């Protein structure tokens, strides 16, 4: 076992599980492509961090926080749909990112580099994932109610504006962690695919959330081990494992549906 493999597996388990948890809400909330778009919003921050010789995750987080606040502010003032606003910020950030990111580091920014993980990085990622889990567990029920009926949620004392801002901030924190593993190009898949696969094979909300977490963590661990065995880039390997997991879930669902008929 390589010296860096164990911290890589720890980070993969934590971040993959958190991605599955966030993804379970994003898929239910019909915001699956937001994670992918926000991954690209992080690109200018990554570029500035590389130029200033800082941790890319810090740069990504800074850019994401600015992007989230811009999206939230425009949504509150213009009433445009979130996907429209995310799209505008996404393409603007992508253009800025390609101008800022140094060319030698561009590929790493796009597909990630989990091999650079240290125990210090694993500890920071672990603390960040705990925060993601705690915050999301507190707003999960409210966000699901908002998805069903905003009027009913308001009657229950839930503020759509505040909950949406907290939700977007959670996504920003998670994406900042994810870009180090799978890069800005693939981060959406790490959030979307485990939840989509879990939705195919579960029957209730509790099973769905738990299975999304398990699929997210398991795919990151499996992809990292695949990288260790084959030498293929870790980020794409993780996403391919996710894709295989989704295909297996799809076939399993089809098999049992056929048996039921």
Nearest by Cα to 50 from 237, 238, 184, 243? 184
**Half-sphere exposure for 11 (CA within 13 Å, toward CB):** 29
Asked whether the beta carbons of 196 and 190 are under 8 A apart, the reply is no
**Half-sphere exposure for 137 (CA within 13 Å, toward CB):** 10
Residue 119: in which H helix or E strand, if any?
A: helix 119-148
Residue range 115-149, pLDDT digits in tens: 667 777 778 888 888 888 999 888 888 888 887 78
Asked whether the beta carbons of 216 and 193 are under 8 A apart, the reply is no
Provide the pLDDT for residue 35: 67
Asked whether the beta carbons of 180 and 114 are under 8 A apart, the reply is yes
Q: Cα–Cα distances in Å, from 87 out to 24, 49, 53, 67, 84?
A: 21, 24, 29, 11, 5
Domains of the chain: 5-260 (1.10.3470.10)
Residue range 104-115, pLDDT digits in tens: 666 666 666 676
149 exposed, middle or buried (CB, 10 Å; 0-12, 13-18, 19+)? exposed
Nearest by Cα to 169 from 31, 68, 28, 29? 68
Q: Is the pLDDT of residue 248 over 50?
A: yes
Provide the pLDDT for residue 36: 67
3-class DSSP assignment, residue 115: helix
Residue range 161-195, pLDDT digits in tens: 888 888 888 888 888 877 777 776 677 788 889 99
Q: 19-23, 76-80, 131-135: which range is least confident on average?
A: 76-80
């Amino acid at each position: 076992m390589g010296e860096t493999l164990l911290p890589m597996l720890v980070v993969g388990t934590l971040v993959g599980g958190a991605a599955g948890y966030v993804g379970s809400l994003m898929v239910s909330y019909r915001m699956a492509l937001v994670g992918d778009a926000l991954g690209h919003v992080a690109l200018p921050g990554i570029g500035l961090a590389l130029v200033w010789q800082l941790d890319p995750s810090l740069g990504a987080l800074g850019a994401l926080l600015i992007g989230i606040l811009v999206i939230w502010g425009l949504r509150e003032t213009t009433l445009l749909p979130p996907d429209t606003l995310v799209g505008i910020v996404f393409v603007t950030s992508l253009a800025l990112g390609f101008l800022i990111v140094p060319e030698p580091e561009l590929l790493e920014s796009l597909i990630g580099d989990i091999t650079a993980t240290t125990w210090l990085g694993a500890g920071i990622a672990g603390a960040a994932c705990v925060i993601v889990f705690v915050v999301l567990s507190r707003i999960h029920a409210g966000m699901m109610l908002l998805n069903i009926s905003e009027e009913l949620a308001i009657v229950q004392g839930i503020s759509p504006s505040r909950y949406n801002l907290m939700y977007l901030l959670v996504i920003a924190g998670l994406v900042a962690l994810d870009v180090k593993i799978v890069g800005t190009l693939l981060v959406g898949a790490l959030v979307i695919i485990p939840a989509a696969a879990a939705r195919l094979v579960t029957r209730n909300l509790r099973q769905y959330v738990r299975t999304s977490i398990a699929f997210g963590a398991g795919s990151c661990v499996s992809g990292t081990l695949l990288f260790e065995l084959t030498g293929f880039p870790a980020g794409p390997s993780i996403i391919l494992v996710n894709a295989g997991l989704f295909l297996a879930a799809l076939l399993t669902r089809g098999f049992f549906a056929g048996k039921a008929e």
